[in-house]
Amino acid sequence: MSQLRVGFIGLGNIGKPMALRLAGADAIDLTVYDVASGPVAELEAAGAAAADSVASLAACSEVICVMVRDDDQVRDVLGEILGVAGDAQTVVIHSTVSPATPAELADTAARHGVKVVDAPVSGGAMGATDGTLAIMVGGTDEAFAAARPALEAMGSLVTHAGPIGAGTKMKLARNLMHFVAFTAATEAQRLAEAAGLDLVELGKVVRHTDAITGGPGAIMHRATTAPLDQDDFWYGVFDHVRALGEKDLTFAIELADELDVDVPMAREALARLGKGLGV
């Protein structure tokens, strides 16, 4: 079986372990590029070839993965790739960029006969290291099929989210929940601290129970956010969640008031939980 020639640009905290997964894949012939020599040497030791420029990497790669810092760096890298691009090439943008950027890049690349997919990742450096990233892909069926062997070497969940840009939008929706939850955690910590509790032990409890219940993802099974009919199976489930949530949030807010702790997210959650659940 012929090997897929993959190039990887950007060997940072997440890019390097992603590239190492590709280096260890039997069906992939990997070439890497980064401005820092240290991670390049590490990839060479793992069996990858090193390119001396983006252009030289692009000249020998069928699929080119890009994991650089921001929109401007992605545009710069794509410009160098397109200078030597071939018609069969697919560029995979792993960087989290503005929602409008993937379509702009795809339009530019199409004039050179190059396909683009946006494929941001979720799971951090740990997921990149052990190959369990979730990779959310936006692009045509053809472009997704071309990139898929490389993506499946780096992630255990690869989902085709839709047309170009859909991967980025899914990543932003996922991270909205992530960082709002982080903010809620800081609010809970303030309440716990004011109540004289051990924050480290609270963290252990949160991680333990989230591993059992699934955390916020436990409620994400419906295909719509529309209000639920009372005869819908999920109505009873979510009405129970609403009742428990409103009770516990009410008690938590009462405790916060007693301890003079500001908990705006808890107050918003109490007002919005039922409507958000569709009940």
Which residues are part of the catalytic machinery? 171
Q: What angle do CA 33, 35, 36 make, to 5 degrees?
A: 105
Number of other residues whose CB lies within 10 A of the CB of residue 179: 9
Residue that is written with structure tokens 């794509």 in the block = 78
Contact assessment for residue 275 and residue 255, using Cβ atoms and an 8 Å cutoff: no
Q: CA torsion 134→137→143→147, rounded to 10°?
A: -20
Q: Which amino acid is at 79?
A: G
Name beta bridge partners: 65: 8, 92
Q: Identify the H or E element spanning 135.
A: strand 133-138
Contact 236, 204 (CB under 8 A): no
The C-alpha atoms of residue 198 and residue 175 are separated, in whole angstroms, by 28
**Residues forming a β-bridge with 241:** none
Structure tokens at 244: 């428990």
Question: In the structure encoding, which two tokens stand for residue 133, read together?
Answer: 């990233």
**Token representation of residue 268:** 């918003």
Residue with token string 């639920």: 228
Whether the Cβ atoms of residue 152 and residue 158 lie closer than 8 Å to each other: yes
